[in-house]
Structure 1
Amino acid sequence: MSSDKHIIHMDLDSFFVSVEIKKNSKLAGKPVIVGGLSDRGVVTSCSYEARKYGVHSAMPSRLARQLCPHAEFVRGNMDDYSEHSRMVTEILQQKVPVLEKASIDEHYIDMTGMERFYGCMKFARELKEQVFKESGLPVSFGLSVNKTVSKIATNECKPNGALQVEQLEIPSFLNPLSIKKIPGLGAATFLKLSEMGVRKIHTFAQIPQQQVYKVLGNNGLSLWQKAHGIDHTPVIPYREQKSISKQQTFESDSIDFTQIRQLITGMVIELAYELRKQQKLTACVTIVIRYSNFETITQQCRIPYTALDDTLIVKAKELFERAYTRRMLIRLVGIKLSALVNGYEQIDLYSASEEKYNLYQAMDKIRNRYGEKAIALASTLSIKL
């Protein structure tokens, strides 16, 4: 890849924990765990002090308590995290030419062409300081020639760090690292490669492409390119218009509210599954109803980032009650989830028990294997609209 690209990856350090420390400075320097407070809860995020004891996200809270009994447990507030995420995005949008919001707590910035006017490293350091000054949140960043290397660089200099990797430095930077450091290399792939004796990026990079394809398929070839520091993925300008939606036109106009609410529940469940499959979160719910006279009413609201059925079902039903203001038959109902960002692993787990979290995972596995209609809530099975 040509060395004329200048890509910055910025990642907020232990984002949820940092927000909690901002709200309560007494938590600074302590092992902090954000998540469900009961033994049946799940860890959403944890401070670097807690990670030293083996605590990590999606771990059952009871196990985290055993590993780090003196940790400060905080239930967390997704409203606060969503607000701070938007705050940081707005700060960056005002300063940079091309910004991609990659998840609730990370951004890519393309500074290509601007290096003539700014020293990119100097600019990134000033941006890091500005984010901290205006939001109160620490941020780390990596600067390199593409998204993959800049992201790995960020992860290597956390917390509160900065690292530049020039084109010629890429092999010596990547080679000694664990293959776990390659973005997109999951647990199953890591296990498969480990069984082959491949644990370092250098070893993985030496495997012939044909063999990688034979063992791992097309995804393996993408990972192999990343192991060589190759990534042509562009920084995609951030737009909140991205959305997914479903709508249903009834065979005959209806005011059977029991059936309509069941239909809304069913559509939300399908959309939430699609969110999790794409590893995305939504921050905006919209409901559309069309009356028998073709008048169309829309209601929408911003919500804390989520991908959980329960949260979205409640909000969609609230919006329906608000939208239906005429005593008239309905011919169509639609739901749209928008303002999407990546980050399924950071769903608001603290509002879900360990059992519910496991249930979501189990249901999604069934859908992945047998199709999205393979499992549903009993209350949605009688829909006849």
Structure 2
Amino acid sequence: MSEPLGTAGAGAWRGPAIGLLDLDAFFASVEQLDHPEWRGRPVIVGGSAERRGVVSTASYEARPYGVHSAMPSYQAMRLCPDAIWTQGRFARYRELSAKVMSLIERETPRVEQVSIDEAFFDVTPGRYSREDPVLICKRIQERISDLGISCSIGLGQNKTVAKIASERDKPHGLCVVMPGQAAEFLAPLPVEALSGVGPSTKDRLKKMGIRTLGQLAQAEVEKMRRVFGVHGPKMVQRAAGRETSKVTSIAHRSTPKSVSNERTFSHDLTSRRDVEAAIAHVSALVGTRLRSKGLRGGEVTLKLKFDYEHTRTIQRPLVPETDDERDFGRVAKELLSDLWSEGTPVRLVGVMVSGFGGERSSTQLALFDVGDGQPNQPPVSRGRDSGRDRDAKRRLSEATDSIRSRFGAGALTLGYDLRLKDTLSDTISNNHDGMSEMPGS
């Protein structure tokens, strides 16, 4: 347990107190909880190597072998041949995740779940409790341990500090950054410690001579704005520990910024017909979730992954806003030629719809957090369907949603699904609504 920059006492905390709880190796820990004979042994939750799967979570016993999340399954099997493998049980993970969130809600109504295994919470003294925030965090850890799993918690004055602190002392760590000490805590860390700074942004910062958060905090704001747009000044502010954060409870959560889905394929797609079928398949998954949430988006983003190191994205506005995959899926297909030429192997396809209520992203940082983002293109209008045609298509989409909701995703198979039969990876699908369901560490 680490409290590196001071230890709070009764009445010692001044100002906001925000925690980030991160369940340790969550999927693997649940499997070890439910299979006592697996405890103390390396456990990997992920897709099979034969179907080009990737590691979702590796237990801490597997990590000394070099296994980590998002690693190709074939590589993990080579590094740790004696590991126990399982494809995972998402319903069980959701069940335990819900219990964890209810434990946090016993302490504060301000709980913002950002993924299946992470949540921010506000324990500012005097807001909901007069108790020391550190003591509250320790009690949350103890109650989660009683469930048979563990968590790590970062505590600071804003979300950025809490997030980075939560990764400081895993597993079952508690890292406390006292008020006024955020800048000292952040300064020596590499820029990629800041969420949202992916490989592309890291490389651009490196070319500017910026390698640490301390250097980023001292960067010229206007220069950062010219290079990174509106995200530039925000990065400087966050790196300096000056971010102002608000934890929004589930009941009061604003509309998600995006809804997306991506699928990995067991073998590369090289023909245009196959890649377009994949776009249609993923778009349909996104469309179903958009309609279930009553959301219509004004921007679509297409993501293609060619191998483990090379990913590209491109986005385009939609006019008018839509929740129909026939509309945004068609535009995503039109964007294909800007990213890809026929014959180039594609291993992953992703589609994201954003821009709800007129908000649209402006830079790569707002996308899938990968490099090679492309500039916005002119808005694209829907085809010239008559009102009667659109109503008929809408009823068809809603009927499809109803059948799949009632009888399962496989109850209704369309042409593009048949074309992709036996090509999908068996890794748990990475789909999210402004937050990722895939675990961290």
TM-score normalized with structure 2 length: 0.57
Structure 1: which amino acid aligns with 2:26?
F
CA-to-partner distance for each residue in 1:23-52, whole Å, 9 max, x for gaps?
A: 123333333221013332221111233333
Partner of 2:76: 64
Q: Distance in 2 between matches of 1:268 and 1:82?
A: 30
CA-to-partner distance for each residue in 1:273-308, whole Å, 9 max, x for gaps?
A: 3369977xxxxxxxxx999xxxx9x969989xxxxx
Q: Distance in 2 between matches of 1:207 and 1:290?
A: 50
1:122 paired residue among 135, 146, 154: 135
2:117 paired residue among 88, 98, 105: 105
2:26 paired residue among 12, 15, 26: 15
Number of paired residues? 294
Equivalent residue runs for 1:199-278 within 5 Å: 199-239=211-251, 244-245=290-291, 273-274=351-352
Structure 1: which amino acid aligns with 2:47?
G
Structure 2: which amino acid aligns with 1:212?
M
SS in 1 for 2:65: coil
TM-score normalized with structure 1 length: 0.65
Name the structure with the higher helix share.
1
1:24 paired residue among 31, 35, 54: 35
Q: Is contact 1:148–1:231 with CA below 8 Å preserved after alignment?
A: yes
Q: Is contact 1:3–1:145 with CA below 8 Å preserved after alignment?
A: no
Deviation, structure 1 residue 140: 0.9
Partner of 1:360: none
Q: Distance in 1 between matches of 2:107 and 2:14?
A: 23
Q: Is contact 1:175–1:202 with CA below 8 Å preserved after alignment?
A: yes
Q: Is contact 1:43–1:58 with CA below 8 Å preserved after alignment?
A: yes
Q: Is contact 1:264–1:313 with CA below 8 Å preserved after alignment?
A: no
Deviation, structure 1 residue 214: 2.5
Q: Unaligned regions of 5+ residues in structure 1, if any? A: 248-262, 280-288, 304-310, 318-337, 348-385
Q: Unaligned regions of 5+ residues in structure 2, if any? A: 1-12, 256-288, 295-322, 333-349, 355-365, 369-392, 414-430
Equivalent residue runs for 1:271-310 within 5 Å: 273-274=351-352
Partner of 1:343: 436
CA-to-partner distance for each residue in 1:168-197, whole Å, 9 max, x for gaps?
A: 221221111111111221121112223444
Structure 2: which amino acid aligns with 1:63?
Q
1:132 paired residue among 128, 133, 145: 145
Q: Distance in 1 between matches of 2:149 and 2:169?
A: 16
Partner of 1:369: none
Does the C-alpha gap of structure 1 residues 10 and 302 become closer, same or farther in structure 2, counting only changes over 3 Å?
farther
Structure 2: which amino acid aligns with 1:173?
F
Q: Is contact 1:111–1:120 with CA below 8 Å preserved after alignment?
A: yes
| Identical-pair percentage | 31
Q: Is contact 2:324–2:394 with CA below 8 Å preserved after alignment?
A: no
1:141 aligns with 2:237: no
Partner of 1:41: 53
Deviation, structure 1 residue 146: 0.8
CA RMSD of aligned residues (A): 4.0
Partner of 2:104: 92
Q: Distance in 2 between matches of 1:141 and 1:301?
A: 38
Q: Is contact 2:28–2:43 with CA below 8 Å preserved after alignment?
A: yes
Does the C-alpha gap of structure 1 residues 63 and 312 become closer, same or farther in structure 2, counting only changes over 3 Å?
farther
Equivalent residue runs for 1:307-346 within 5 Å: 313-314=409-410, 340=433, 342-343=435-436, 345-346=438-439
SS in 2 for 1:107: strand
SS in 2 for 1:231: coil
Q: Which moved more, 1:143-152 or 1:211-220?
A: 211-220
